[in-house]
Every structure is written in C-alpha cells, then in structure tokens.
Chains A and B, each alone.
Chain A
Amino acid sequence: MSLTSTRADGAQIVTVNAERIDAAMAIQFKEDMRAETEDGTDRIILDLSLVQFIDSSGLGAIVAAMKQLGRDRRLDLAGPTPMVEKVFRLTRMDTIFNLYSTLNEAVTETKT
C-alpha cells in the first residue's frame, strides 16, 4: 500500500493513499507504518481523508501502529470519512485516539 510523509510544525503527517484499509492490507499497513515512523517526531498525524472504508482488521492495524510507537510518541487521526468515523465511534476507539475532522485542524493543534 502507499503511505507518504510530510512534516508540519513539529509533527509528521502520514497520508494513506488508499481507498480502503481492510483485511487484505492490514498487515502491510502495519509494516509500512513501522518503516515510515521508524525515526521522527513524537507526534504523528495519520491523514485518513482518502480512506473510504475500514474494517475491523484495518482498525486493529491502526491500533497496532499506535502501540508500536511506544508511550512517548502519539498517533493522532485526521480527516476520517463517514464510514471510517462510524467504525471508530461504534467500537469506542474514538475515545482512545484524538480524531480531528480535518488535517488542518490536527496541524493547528500542534502549534497551540
């Protein structure tokens, strides 16, 4: 799958360039996240705005990506589309992650 990274105001923005994070790509996603965030900022913003669909395997992979960062680094989520937002809300994972409706809001948070 395709992840791209940029830096903004002390955070690393990782964009998921895929329409779905599902069972077929969950393991790849977790490995790519590890490679992408191996060294870098303490705060990582995962830009999900292109992801139209996520299943429980994809959700598990995002949780795994957060856990492999360790306690001193943080994974925030930005731009969830309606179905992605719904899966996070139903599983109550929206209480574990900081979810920002847009990438801009997530980045602005870094400055304050």
Chain B
Amino acid sequence: MAEIFACSFTATELDARSGISAVMERLREIDLPDERAGDVQIALAEAVNNVVEHAYAGTEKGDVRIKCNLYPQELRIQICDAGFPLTDCALPPGEPADLSGPIETLPEGGFGWFLIRELTSRLHYERLGRNNRLSLYFQVPPT
C-alpha cells in the first residue's frame, strides 16, 4: 500500500517556500532517505518555481496542488495547477546551460528543467482541460 499525502498553497514565492518545506517534512516522516530527500527538494522547488513564474505569469495567482505517493521502490510527486500550459504542451528539453562564453555572458537562469531531468528517474506532463499535471518520479532507495 502506497503512503499518500497531499497539500496545496497559493502560487507565490513565499507560499511556495513554506509549501515545499511542508512537503519535505512529510516525506521525511514517512522515511524517505536523507540522500534522496535532497534530490527531491531541489527538483520539487524547480518545478514549483516554474508554476509560480510561468504557468501563472501575468494572471491571478491560483493554487499549486501537490500529491505524493511513496511506493516501496518509487516516489511519485504530482504537481497540478490551473495556469497556462507548457509551450507546445510539451516538456522542455532541459539542455545544460552553456558556460563556454566569457563571464559577461554566463547564464543567470535556465537551469531549472535541466536540474529536474537530472534528479528524477522519469517525468510525465499532461494538460487536462484547464489544468497542468506534472509528475516527477524518483527511485527509492537511491541506486
């Protein structure tokens, strides 16, 4: 039987911070290993930041709803929002940032999807009516 919990918060930077902390606290309570918890926190924060900054960009801030299912060998985190869809309704490729240029041209952003892809075992995105649902999967325990 999978352990399940859910929470939701308004899509602002400060509410996102406390929402992510609340999710991480619950995951540790249900014995997600510490090593894995770090990866989950980084990927979850990037995914939620994307919702706050892009899905609800220029519109009224709606809710971010998070549902976690912990199975014996896998953690699934679903992040739902009622904002704009991803471009072309598809997951961005998440290429690594180009660091080859001079200091003046170093990127100050665009690391988010790359980090999400690096830290998850798989990813799934669906546009369901007026809602987005992004699912992040993590192997447990770490391989």
Main secondary structure of the interface of B (DSSP, over half): helix
Taking a contact as CB atoms under 8 Å apart, the answer to whether A24 and B16 are in contact is yes
A8 at interface (Cβ–Cβ under 8 A)? Answer: no
Which stretch, A40-48, A54-62, A104-112, touches the partner chain B? Answer: A54-62
Q: Please, how many angstroms separate the alpha-carbon atoms of A21 and B42 in the complex?
A: 12
Taking a contact as CB atoms under 8 Å apart, the answer to whether A87 and B109 are in contact is no
Known: A24-B13, A87-B42. A96 touches B109 (CB 8 A): no
Taking a contact as CB atoms under 8 Å apart, the answer to whether A56 and B111 are in contact is yes
Contacts of A92 in B (CB 8 A): 96-97, 99
Main secondary structure of the interface of A (DSSP, over half): helix
A93 at interface (Cβ–Cβ under 8 A)? Answer: yes
Known: A59-B111, A67-B106, A95-B99. A86 touches B38 (CB 8 A): yes
Taking a contact as CB atoms under 8 Å apart, the answer to whether A24 and B115 are in contact is no
Taking a contact as CB atoms under 8 Å apart, the answer to whether A91 and B52 are in contact is no
Taking Cβ atoms with an 8 Å cutoff, the residues of A that contact B are 20, 22-24, 53, 55-57, 59-61, 63-64, 66-67, 71, 82-83, 86-87, 90-93, 95-96
Can you identify 29 A-B contacts, CB atoms within 8 angstroms?
A22-B17, A22-B45, A23-B17, A24-B13, A53-B41, A53-B42, A53-B45, A55-B46, A56-B46, A56-B110, A56-B115, A57-B49, A60-B108, A60-B111, A63-B107, A63-B108, A64-B108, A66-B106, A67-B106, A67-B108, A83-B41, A86-B38, A87-B42, A90-B119, A91-B97, A91-B114, A91-B115, A93-B99, A96-B99
